[in-house]
Chain A
């Protein structure tokens, strides 16, 4: 690796100052499981790594049934699924947190880092979109929020300015009769990058789908929020026929490429399969959650 300097700010203010001073030649590190690999491969040309793990707000996990969940950007996956209250309230997030990499990776990798890394295959982003998540960003001009579905702007490109830092993610409190699920397809049983992934959420009302959100991984330059899939099934009965309407729209919305992890045809096909299976699971979870 070429030479880098290392800074470890202890407050959001300090982090923003360091980033501003670095003039675009710095990146924030949380778990480092993406960043260090990318630095060694020469993907980023920077001079400074800013460690976010000593900033209290980036380590926060606060949940209550009214205000929802505030998840610090640097909180490692194992802390998320190890938190009983969060795990019970947000199984859709846990699906992703317990799948990313393997045990050791989950000892370091964070959902905030996964989001900022902004690769199309990120496992945590579709469920975060499905759960209506928001990104809390701090910069020299103050704080702002960005809907997670708007956070990734291209492959490894995100909405942050070079002097901004992702502080935390916020998820609304789960409502009764709601369920969410993330599943992905990988060739092995662990460790792989998703060939395709589907993160979905549903809210049921008397056996009908009141609302639904569908988001896909690995089939476009950014994680894809397929709003039309969820809109098309709102108000319809929660059954197989309805689910297949949504999964068909998801397949048609996918814009995958052919690369070493999958072909266009295979990925399109998987979008339908995964969306369908994820919706079925989300509906089951919603039925159990009243």
Chain B
């Protein structure tokens, strides 16, 4: 019986260790092994972005990362975006702008949007749409999501 691999990593600023089979994706490890179910599966092949996490400073689709690969890496999931009990301005902006309906794509969008604003604090509408093209939403038509990101950018620059 082949054995599991022991992985040590950093998730949302905390040291986390877990056991997994090499065939288990990071997405599976987060959800089924570690218990962080905020990252979602929509397609399992990199086409919908619902599984977006930040890994060593870049957003990736966690369905296409193996759990065994994240040894020694720094990962940020949706659970790590808020600052304790204070929502991140992007999270607050999504609520105020009604940028979610069913909410399943929302964790992926929030992680991806935060990554954008970290690198480009004043993006144009086109830059926002281009950056977020790997995240699918079927409920909102994207309008209020884009406005929420624009709104958050303004608030974050004012702060």
Contacts and interface: CB of A to CB of B under 8 A. Distances in A.
Query: Chain B contact residues: over half helix, strand or loop, or mixed?
Result: mixed
Interface in B80-106: none
Given A36-B66, A104-B59, A191-B134, A2 B49 contact: no
Contact of A32 (B44, B59, B64, B133): B64
B39 interface: no
Query: Chain A contact residues: over half helix, strand or loop, or mixed?
Result: loop
B156 interface: no
B22 A5 contact: yes
B68 interface: yes
Interface residues of B, number: 30
B69 interface: yes
A101 B134 CA distance: 7
B61 A3 contact: no
A105 interface: yes
A189 interface: yes
Interface in B119-147: 130-135
Interface string B49-92: 10010010011110111101100000000000000000000000
11 contacts: A2-B23, A3-B2, A32-B65, A32-B66, A37-B64, A103-B130, A103-B132, A103-B134, A104-B52, A104-B134, A190-B130
Given A104-B46, A104-B61, 14 more contacts: A3-B21, A5-B22, A6-B22, A32-B65, A33-B61, A36-B25, A40-B45, A49-B66, A51-B69, A76-B58, A102-B49, A107-B58, A107-B59, A190-B130
B12 interface: no
Interface of A: 1-6, 31-33, 36-37, 40, 49, 51, 53, 76, 78, 101-105, 107-108, 189-191
Contact of B112 (A31, A36, A103, A190): A103
Contact of B46 (A51, A101, A189): A101
Contacts of B5: 6
B143 to A, nearest CB: 16
Contacts of B131: 103
Given A104-B134, A191-B47, A78 B58 contact: yes
Given A6-B5, A103-B133, A1 B59 contact: no
Contacts of B60: 104, 107-108
Nearest to B22: A6
B129 to A, nearest CB: 8
Contacts of B134: 101-105, 190-191
Contact of A108 (B22, B45, B65): B65
B141 to A, nearest CB: 15
A143 B77 CA distance: 41
